[in-house]
Amino acid sequence: MGSGTFVSKANVNKFSKLLELDLVQNGFSDAYFLTYMNQVPYQLEGHGSTDQYALSDDEKVHMHKGLVTLYHSLQHKNDIFPTNEEQPNMYKHDARTACRDDRCLFLTNVEAFPDVRLFSYNPSISVDDSERIHTDYFDQNKFISHPYSSAVDGDDKSAWKGPHNIKAGDYIGLDMLRPMPIALNYRVLTQHPYAYRRTLSVQISNDGVDWTEVRTAAPIACHAFDTKDAQENVPDLLECRFSIKETRYRFMRLESKRDLNFGFKVYDISFSAKAKRDVNGQLLEIVADEDGVFFVEDKDE
With bands split at pLDDT 50, 70 and 90, how would you rate the model's confidence at 6? low
Share of the chain above pLDDT 70, in %: 81
What pLDDT is recorded for position 283?
Answer: 58
Share of the chain above pLDDT 90, in %: 38
Q: Is the pLDDT of residue 82 over 80?
A: no
What pLDDT is recorded for position 221?
Answer: 93
With bands split at pLDDT 50, 70 and 90, how would you rate the model's confidence at 205? very high
Nearest to 261 by CA among 195, 171, 200, 197: 195
CATH of domain 147-296: 2.60.120.260
What pLDDT is recorded for position 222?
Answer: 93
Lowest-pLDDT range of 36-40, 107-111, 200-204, 217-221: 36-40
Q: Tens of pLDDT along 110-150?
A: 998 777 777 788 888 888 888 887 777 777 777 788 999 99
Mean pLDDT of the chain: 81
Domain with CATH 2.60.120.260 in the chain: 147-296
List, in order, residues 6 or more apart from 231 with CB less than 8 Å away. none
Q: Is the pLDDT of residue 271 over 80?
A: yes
Q: Tens of pLDDT along 208-249?
A: 999 999 988 788 999 998 766 544 566 789 999 999 999 999
What pLDDT is recorded for position 4?
Answer: 58
41 or 245: which leads in pLDDT:
245
63 or 27: which leads in pLDDT:
63
With bands split at pLDDT 50, 70 and 90, how would you rate the model's confidence at 48? low
Q: Is the pLDDT of residue 51 over 90?
A: no
What pLDDT is recorded for position 248?
Answer: 92
What pLDDT is recorded for position 58?
Answer: 81
Average pLDDT over residues 252-269: 97
With bands split at pLDDT 50, 70 and 90, how would you rate the model's confidence at 292? very low
Q: Is the pLDDT of residue 104 over 60?
A: yes
Nearest to 110 by CA among 155, 158, 165, 149: 165
What pLDDT is recorded for position 290?
Answer: 54
What pLDDT is recorded for position 230?
Answer: 47
What's the rounded Cα separation, in Å, for the pair 224 and 241? 12
Residue 111 phi, psi dihedral angles, 5° rounding: -80, 140
- The whole-angstrom distance between residue 225's C-alpha and the CA centroid of its chain comes to 25
Average pLDDT over residues 6-16: 77
